Amino acid sequence: MSYPEFRSLCPVASAIDLFGDKWTLVVLRTIFAGRHRFGELLGGPERIATNILADRLDKLERYGLLTRAAYQDHPARYAYHLTEKGADLLPVLQAFAAWSAKHIPGRWAPPAWFVEGRPEDFYPRRGSPDGGT
């Protein structure tokens, strides 16, 4: 696992160094929603570019937040799944959604699975090809 060079030892600044770009949390949100393949991840309403998506998936895998599992050999195609470390970001996304719903008019209500979910609900299953052991 490789992290970027952090600008300081501050935990808030360090988290921003990992997740502070325009797309990383959106990609994670989409994976939490059950879309795991590259084409599925492209289908969000935000319309992420393919090169940006590939870059974010690579970074999230390097940071140990996602695993990549081949589901087709020729051509090689992969599905991306949360690791336990990645699933532990659910409360962060829930806090962003709650703050946004409270302070930004006109936002839609997140689905119940998202609001009521726990990180453990998204942990890899033991023995599964998505990173469980």
For domain 11-122, the CATH class is: mainly alpha
- Can you spell out the DSSP letters for the chain? ---PPPS-S-HHHHHHHHH-SSSHHHHHHHHHTT--BHHHHHTSTT---HHHHHHHHHHHHHTTSEEEEEEETTTTEEEEEE-HHHHTTHHHHHHHHHHHHHHSTTPPPPPHHHHH--GGGGSPPTT-TTS--
Q: Which amino acid is at 41?
A: L
d(CA 98, CA 89): 15
| Strand-strand pairing, 77-82 and 66-72 | antiparallel
pLDDT confidence of residue 109 = 92
pTM (two decimals): 0.90
pLDDT confidence of residue 98 = 96
Q: Where are the domains of the chain?
A: 11-122
pLDDT confidence of residue 133 = 39
d(CA 72, CA 95): 36
Greatest Cα-to-Cα distance within the chain, rounded to the nearest angstrom: 48
Which residues does the chain have with pLDDT short of 50?
132-133
